[in-house]
Amino acid sequence: MTEYVVLLPGNESTWEAATEQQKSEMYAKHGEFARLLAERGHKVIGGNELTHSREAKVVRGELDNITVTDGPYAETVEQLGGYYLVDTDDLDDLLQVCGVLAGAGAVEVRGTVDHSGNA
Amino acid sequence: MTDALSGALRDEWGRLLALLVAQYRRLDLAEDGLADAFEAAARTWPGAGVPDNPPAWLLTAARRRTTDRLRTEAVAARRLPLLAVDADLQEEAQRVMADAGERVRDERLRLVLLCAHPSLPTPSAAALTLRLVLGVPTEDVARLFLVSTPTMAARLTRARKKLAGERFGVPAGAELEARVGVVADVAYLAFTTGYAPFSGADVLRAGVAAEAIRLVRVLREVLPRDFPRAELDALLALMLVQHSRRDARARDGAVVLLADQDRSRWHQAEIEEAVALLTPLAHAPASPYLLQALIAAEHAIAASSADTDWSRIADRYRELDELTGSPVVRLNRAVAVAEADGPLAGLRLLDGLVLPGHRLPTARAELLARAGRVEDARTAYDEAIGRCRNLAERAHLIERRARL
């Protein structure tokens, strides 16, 4: 099994302006995603929605001598809005299921490096 | 640890700490000194025997340690600001020896109120109260709040530092009432922390809940005689009823819903105490804790799930809804109304409700399923699954959807 991060970039102002109905529909898609992963043998081991990137803090400097700025590191329209951690041995099928969330945008899937030394 | 010592730790910690704080005007010093005294007791009592007056022994030992520390500190020249303590109280605290026959003056109210200081965020106040007033070890407080011991130790230190320089006193009138209100909320927060689903071993959860109940009992004991107690009585009743179900609410690591619980495992003595507390309050003005306690008691006195008086519970929830305007209350009210008047009546109450998290779509899905609207229920379940962040609960939702 390999651990993958499913990164969900998106336009935050669109999400903020969405109606409750649209948000419900979006969450239902996430529900379908989680359900399909379970049905097809992928294991969700974590994940969460992130707060708006304006809440982000960027830290520079070193311990006990830091500079903190508000806002995201990357100044782009599309910001990371959430992520899932999925354990699977079938990347191709995981990518298929990610189609549920991609919609008009895109989803980025990245493997994590195995540091356990057993590989 | 000997029985005498663990008994003293439970009963005397807050009392002795309050006295030391009054004398030395520093939370950190008082706490370290008292912890040292208990540590010394754990070493010497088993061999030398338990002293005649354990609290007096502990107080003397704690003072000696604290004085030592003060000397060291004077050399290191690093001091925290002092708490403001009335001169006569400080004098009294220095004089008291807690020797045979003399009662230790109970200053725990000051300590409880200090922990409920408005400058502290409620979770910090709750942690500090468990540590200072009830003597719960930092390690256990950390486990109760699901953080590591160093994290909790740092949080407690920040909270103590924030309080340095504040008043160690009992405010009057409205301020006292406000402060007691905070303590009540702190106790209830600690209590519900204990009962958050999947938040650790059941034993531990029951443990923190029992400590929170103890805090409310201590508070009722140390408040001035003429202080209005209705709200605290209602809170204690609410906690007792919820706590009485502790042995029935989990089976094989999974949460058992109220309707499916084995009622013979509910602790009847606690339910009886709660009902006795609530009886004089039947016509008291409605307050959130009182209404919640009455709802909880209504469940507790029903012989079976089917015998529950749902229309009365729905009425209580209507009052609570009107009083608080909280979407969570509206959600619970809808569930009660669905039991009393059918799923469609419940669903109507959920219309237009906005609530983050998965509880709202879950309730909607279950009522839709009960109303036979399977397609709509599936969509609602999908939304609930998408909003749910707890892996165990999410798996449970996926299973329920599959069973439609």
Question: A72 falls in which pLDDT band (50, 70, 90)?
Answer: very high
Contacts of A19 in chain B (CB under 8 A): none
If phi > 0 it is left, if psi is from -120 to 50 it is alpha, else beta; for residue B352 that is: left
For residues B345 and B333, the answer to whether their CB atoms sit within 8 Å is no
Q: Which residues of chain B have pLDDT under 70?
A: 1-2, 74-81, 87, 92, 94-106, 194-206, 253-254
Res B80: pLDDT: 62
Neighboring chain B residues of A45 at a CB cutoff of 8 Å: 391
CB contact under 8 A, B354 and A29: no
Distances (CA, A) of B72 to B4, B67, B122: 32, 9, 34
Nearest to B103 by CA among B115, B87, B92: B92
Nearest chain B Cα distance for residue A73, angstroms: 26
How many cross-chain Cβ pairs, A to B, lie less than 8 Å apart?
47
The partner residues of A5 in beta bridges, in order of sequence, read A85, A110
Cα of B356 to nearest chain A Cα, Å? 11
Instruction: State the angle between helix axes of B374-387 and B391-402 in degrees (0 to 180), rounded to the nearest 10.
Output: 170
Nearest to B389 among A24, A26, A48 (CB): A48
The reply to whether residue B391 touches residue A48, judged by beta carbons under 8 angstroms, is: no
Task: Please give the pLDDT value at position B15.
Answer: 86
Q: Give chain B positions within 8 Å (CB) of A26.
A: 386
What is the pLDDT confidence band of residue A31, given thresholds at 50, 70 and 90?
very high
Both tokens assigned to A45 = 């081991």
Query: Which has the closest alpha carbon to A96: A45, A50, A41, A49?
Result: A41
Residue B79 has what pLDDT?
A: 59
Nearest CA in chain B to A24: B383
Please give the pLDDT value at position B283.
Answer: 86
- What pLDDT score was predicted for residue B75? 64
Structure tokens at B266: 């509910």
Distance CA B242, CA A11 (A): 44
Interface-testing mutation among A21, A22, A24, A84, with chain B (most B C-beta atoms within 10 A): A24
Q: What CATH class has B1-106?
A: mainly alpha
CA of A46 to nearest chain B CA: how many angstroms apart?
Answer: 8
Domain definitions of chain B by residue range: 1-106, 109-227, 302-355, 357-404
Q: How far is CA A92 from CA A31, A98, B192, in A?
A: 20, 10, 43
pLDDT of residue B105: 57
Cα angle B27, B211, B185; round to 5:
75
According to the model, what pLDDT value does residue A30 have?
94
Asked if the ipTM is above 0.85, the reply is: no
* Alpha helix segments (H runs only) across A1-119: 12-17, 20-39, 91-102
Q: Do A30 and B394 touch (CB under 8 A)?
A: no
Contact B292, B285 (CB under 8 A): no
| Contact between A31 and B381 using a beta-carbon 8 Å cutoff | yes
3-state SS class at A35:
helix
Q: Which residues contact B105 (CB under 8 A, 6 or more apart)?
A: B19, B92, B93, B96
Measured CA angle at B145 (ends A66, B55), to 5 deg: 110
Interface contact A28-B354, CB threshold 8 A: no
Q: How far is A31 from chain B (nearest CA, A)?
A: 4
- What's the pLDDT at B24? 86
Q: Phi first, then psi: what are they for B91, rounded to 5°?
A: -60, -45
* Residues in A touching B354 (Cβ below 8 Å): 20
- Residue B368 is predicted with a pLDDT of 97
pLDDT score, position A77: 86
Query: Residues 6 or more apart from B47 whose CB is under 8 A from it?
Result: none
Question: Dihedrals φ, ψ of B351, to 5°?
Answer: -60, 130
CB burial readout B336-362, b (16+ within 10 A) else e: bbbbbeebeebbebbeeeebeebbbbb
A83: closest chain B residue by CA: B389
Q: Test B382 with A29 for CB contact under 8 angstroms.
A: yes
Which residues lie below 8 Å from residue B19, measured CB to CB, with a gap of 6+?
Answer: B59, B93, B96, B104, B105, B107
Q: Decide if A31 contacts B386 (C-beta within 8 A).
A: yes
Instruction: Return the half-sphere exposure (C-beta side, CA atoms, 13 A cut-off) of residue A113.
Output: 1
Out of A29, A45, A46, closest to residue B386 by CB: A29
**Residues of A whose CB is below 8 A from B383:** 24-25, 27-28, 31
Q: Does A48 contact chain B (CB < 8 Å)? A: yes
Q: Determine the longest span between alpha carbons in chain B, in angstroms.
A: 77
What is the distance between the alpha carbons of residues A80 and A52, in angstroms, rounded to a whole number? 9
Q: Which of A27, A38, A46 sits opposite B386 (nearest CB)?
A: A27
pLDDT of residue B204: 53
* Nearest C-alpha in B relative to A21: B352
Contact (CB, 8 A) for B230 and B202: no
Q: Which of A31, A45, A47 sits opposite B382 (nearest CB)?
A: A31
Residues in B touching A29 (Cβ below 8 Å): 382, 386
Give per-residue pLDDT as tens, A43-62. 999 888 999 999 999 999 99
Mean pLDDT for all residues in chain A: 92
pLDDT for B250? 76
Count the alpha carbons within 13 Å of B148 in the hemisphere toward its beta carbon. Answer: 3
The 3 state secondary structure assigned to B81-94 is CCCECCHHHHHHHH
Give the Cα separation of B343 and B259 in Å (integer).
Answer: 17
Provide the shortest C-alpha distance from residue B208 to chain A (in Å).
27
Q: How far apart are CA A57 and CA B143, in angstroms?
A: 28
The pLDDT value recorded for residue B346 is 96
Whether residues B386 and A33 touch (CB distance < 8 A) is answered with yes
Which carries the bigger pLDDT value, residue A117 or residue A76?
Answer: A76
Question: Domains of chain A, with CATH numbers?
Answer: 2-111 (3.30.70.1060)
- Residue among A24, A25, A34 minimizing CB distance to B385: A34
For residue B400, report the phi and psi dihedrals to the nearest 5 degrees. -65, -40
> Nearest-CA neighbor of A97 among A40, A49, A52, A56?
A40
Report the percentage of chain A scoring pLDDT > 70: 98
Q: Is A108 helix (H, G, I), strand (E, B) or coil?
A: strand
The tens digit of pLDDT for each residue in B351-363 reads: 989 888 899 999 9
Which of B 317-376 lie inside 8 A of A, CB atoms? Answer: 354, 361
Do the Cβ atoms of A27 and B387 come within 8 Å?
A: yes
Distance from CA of B382 to the nearest CA of A (A): 4
Chain centroid, CA B157 distance in Å: 20
Contact A31 B386 (CB under 8 A): yes
